[in-house]
């Protein structure tokens, strides 16, 4: 990147990012969102441009890509590609999840790592941003196959991670089972019980209480704050959630506990509409225990529940929509339909689930509050940071205490987003608030640490 292309114009930088990172549209999208509100901030603080803070921010500090061979139960050999991107360590060790999904590419992991930098900054905790993953498909694989894959992956990854260096956790396709296998192999190879190397561990062996629930619960705590800002609450609200995984299941659990009526849920096979309210025990049995498809929900539930094969849940009328499945799962057409059907609040549980055009529809609609994932889904990584804190002090907190701290953290993020938005002439704009606040915290630390 030549000095002449830089300065205080985010559009010029965005074009550089696109040119230098071909074939990575999700990464471009994530960068575009962060850069959009930064023009006036850069003009007001010329020291950022002088120190080329933005140019450094969009370039990962390091990227490791490696082969992961493994043997399935039938004796056949498979070769997967895994990677870990250390995006920014200004605020602490790289921190972020690992995703196992056949669609994973370096561009996906870079977009997730970039988002993570600002999300982690918003938590106010001492964590930098990173992400990793592999194009491994855990669907239909036995526990033994998943174990062998995790062990093979860790046989390379172990040399790049550690409590003060890089701390992976779960993301889509990676949860307690995988973290257990990954940690076991890490412990065996290194001969150390460095618990703070991975988060999302079992609560019986170093894992934080509430980590499993944290992203979904945190999302709903954030929604509660958004509603409170309009003198509203969740009681009696109609909610639709996409996905039926870690984030969505615990978002539904907390929304129901706070009195909401959740009537829609989905997975990659299609969407369920249950006007009587989602039976979460049934969803948990199908998705968490049996690792099955939601298609079975309607049959087993009876009543008025229906399943729409291959559909998203965005045609189900609701007041609150919580996209919790995957990136770009909600487009402008879906957004328009939601608005037409009366949605008044959209908060992202997944990372970047709304397309740019969908976000524009929500932001242009009267009376619709929209929160970007880097603010509203930060509860998971916040409790991961609590786990690191407990591991470092060889301490363990109760469920109640951890949940209390999660609620406080989500309240602080909400307040920071609103305050920052207001200070920068973006009243009520959570996107501008989150991106400016996250940027300022990281950028100030980078300035203080010199050109590194």
**What counts of helices (H) and strands (E) characterise the chain?**
18, 12
Footprint of ligand 2IT on 160-199 (CB under 6 A): 169, 171, 199
In this structure, are strands 166-170 and 238-241 parallel, antiparallel, or unpaired?
unpaired
- In the range 83-102, which residues lie near ligand NDP by CB under 6 A? 97
Is 139 a known active-site residue?
no
The residue at minimum Cβ distance from ligand NDP is: 245
Residue 89 binds ligand 2IT (CB under 6 A)? no
| Residue 298 makes contact with ligand NDP by CB under 6 A | no
Which residue do the tokens 């995006």 mark? 87
Which among 30-38, 62-70, 265-273, 428-436 is the span making contact with ligand NDP, rule CB under 6 A? 265-273
Out of 243, 372, 433, 438, which residue is the one contacting ligand NDP (CB under 6 A)?
Answer: 243
Which is catalytic among the residues 95, 110, 131, 374? 131
Q: How far apart are CA 60 and CA 70, in angstroms?
A: 29
Using CB distances below 5 to 8 A depending on partner kind, what does residue 243 bind out of ligand NDP, ligand 2IT, none? ligand NDP
Q: Which residues contact 196 (CB under 8 A, 6 or more apart)?
A: 163, 167, 387, 388, 391, 392
Instruction: Single out the segment in contact with ligand NDP by CB under 6 A; choices: 260-268, 334-342, 361-369, 393-401.
Output: 260-268
Q: In 3D, which of 325, 368, 363 has the Cα closest to residue 345?
A: 368
Residue 374, contacted partner among ligand NDP, ligand 2IT, none, CB below 5-8 A by kind: none
303: tokens are 């009543």
Segment near ligand 2IT (CB under 6 A); pick from 9-17, 94-102, 221-229, 423-431: 94-102
Least distance (Å) between residue 448 CB and ligand NDP: 28
Nearest by Cα to 208 from 374, 376, 389? 389
Q: Which tokens is 328 given? A: 């770009």
- Cα(228)–Cα(251) distance, integer angstroms: 18
Token representation of residue 430: 């959570």
The verdict on 376 binding ligand NDP (CB under 6 A) reads: no
Residue 327 contacts ligand 2IT per CB under 6 A: no
The reply to whether 402 sits near ligand NDP by the rule CB under 6 A is: no
Q: Is 107 in the site for ligand 2IT (CB under 6 A)?
A: no
264 near ligand NDP (CB under 6 A): no
Query: Which of ligand NDP, ligand 2IT, none has residue 96 at its interface (CB below 5 to 8 Å by kind)?
Result: ligand 2IT
- Applying CB under 6 A, among 133, 349, 372, 438 the residue interacting with ligand NDP is 349
Question: Judged by CB under 6 A, does residue 246 bind ligand 2IT?
Answer: no
Q: Does 380 bind ligand 2IT (CB under 6 A)?
A: yes
Nearest-10 crossing angle of helices 106-122, 25-35: 30
Cβ distance 295 to 320 under 8 Å?
Answer: no
Q: Which does 199 bind (CB under 5 to 8 A by kind): ligand 2IT, ligand NDP, none?
A: ligand 2IT
Among ligand NDP, ligand 2IT, none, what does residue 269 contact (CB within 5–8 Å per kind)? ligand NDP
Q: How many angstroms separate the CA atoms of 432 and 10, rounded?
A: 14
Shortest distance, CB of residue 269 to ligand NDP, whole angstroms? 6
Looking at the DSSP assignment, which residues form a beta bridge with residue 29?
Answer: none
What is the smallest separation between the CB atom of 322 and ligand 2IT, expressed in angstroms?
15
Cβ-contact 375, 434 below 8 angstroms: yes
Within 13 A of 330's CA, how many CA atoms are on the CB side?
A: 35
Sheet holding 129-134, edge to edge: 62-71, 77-88, 129-134, 94-100, 166-170
Quickly count: other Cβ atoms within 10 Å of residue 310's Cβ. Answer: 8
Give the whole-angstrom CA distance, residue 329 versus residue 348: 11
Nearer to ligand 2IT, 414 or 424 (CB): 414
Alpha carbons within 13 angstroms on the beta-carbon side of residue 198 total 30
Integer Cα distance of 45 and 196 in angstroms = 37
Which residue of 80, 351, 390, 435 would you call a contact of ligand 2IT, by CB under 6 A? Answer: 351
Dihedral over Cα of 445, 57, 6, 13: its sign: negative
Selection from ligand NDP, ligand 2IT, none that 125 binds (CB < 5 to 8 A by kind) is: none
Q: Which residues of the shown chain bind ligand NDP in the complex (CB under 6 A)?
A: 97, 170-173, 215, 243-248, 266-269, 287, 324-326, 329, 349-351, 377, 380
Q: Which residues of the shown chain bind ligand 2IT in the complex (CB under 6 A)?
A: 95-97, 116, 119, 169, 171, 199, 351, 380-381, 384
Catalytic residues: 131
């Amino acid at each position: 990147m030549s000095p002449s292309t830089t300065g205080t114009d985010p559009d010029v930088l965005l074009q550089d990012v696109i040119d230098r990172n071909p074939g990575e549209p999700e990464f471009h999208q994530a960068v575009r969102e962060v850069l959009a509100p930064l023009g006036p901030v850069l003009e007001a603080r010329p020291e950022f441009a002088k120190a080329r803070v933005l140019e450094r921010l969009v370039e990962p500090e390091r990227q490791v890509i490696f082969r992961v061979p493994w043997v399935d139960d039938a004796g056949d050999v498979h070769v997967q590609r895994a990677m870990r991107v250390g995006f920014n360590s200004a605020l602490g060790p790289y921190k972020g999840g690992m995703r196992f999904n056949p669609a994973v590419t370096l561009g996906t992991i870079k977009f997730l790592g970039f988002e993570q930098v600002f999300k982690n900054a918003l938590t106010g905790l001492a964590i930098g941003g990173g992400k990793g993953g592999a194009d491994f498909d855990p669907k239909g694989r036995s526990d033994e196959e998943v174990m062998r894959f995790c062990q093979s992956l860790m046989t390379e990854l172990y040399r790049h991670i550690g409590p003060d260096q890089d701390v992976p956790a779960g993301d889509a396709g990676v949860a307690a089972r995988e973290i257990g296998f990954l940690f076991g192999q890490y412990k065996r190879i290194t001969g150390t019980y460095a618990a703070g190397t991975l988060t999302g561990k079992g609560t019986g062996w170093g894992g934080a209480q509430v980590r499993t629930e944290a992203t979904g619960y945190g999302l709903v705590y954030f929604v509660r704050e958004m509603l409170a800002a309009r003198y509203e609450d969740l009681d009696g609200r109609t909610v639709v959630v996409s996905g039926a995984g870690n984030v969505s299941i615990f978002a539904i659990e907390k929304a129901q506990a706070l009195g909401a009526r959740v009537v829609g849920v989905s997975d990659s096979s299609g969407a369920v509409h249950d006007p009587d309210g989602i039976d979460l025990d049934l969803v948990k049995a199908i998705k968490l225990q049996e690792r099955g498809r939601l298609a079975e929900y309607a049959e087993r539930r009876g009543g008025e529940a229906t399943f729409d094969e291959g559909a998203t849940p965005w045609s189900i009328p609701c007041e609150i929509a919580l996209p919790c499945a995957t990136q770009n799962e909600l487009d402008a057409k879906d957004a328009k339909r939601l608005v037409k059907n009366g949605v008044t609040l959209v908060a992202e549980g997944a990372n970047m689930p709304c397309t740019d055009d969908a976000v524009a529809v929500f932001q242009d609609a009267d009376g619709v509050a929209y929160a970007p994932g880097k603010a509203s889904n930060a509860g998971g990584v916040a409790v991961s940071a609590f786990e690191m804190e407990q591991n470092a002090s060889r301490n363990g907190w109760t469920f109640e205490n951890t949940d209390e701290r999660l609620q406080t953290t989500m309240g602080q993020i909400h307040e920071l987003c609103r305050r920052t938005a207001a200070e920068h002439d973006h009243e009520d704009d959570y996107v501008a608030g989150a991106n400016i606040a996250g940027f300022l915290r990281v950028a100030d630390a980078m300035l203080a640490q010199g050109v590194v």
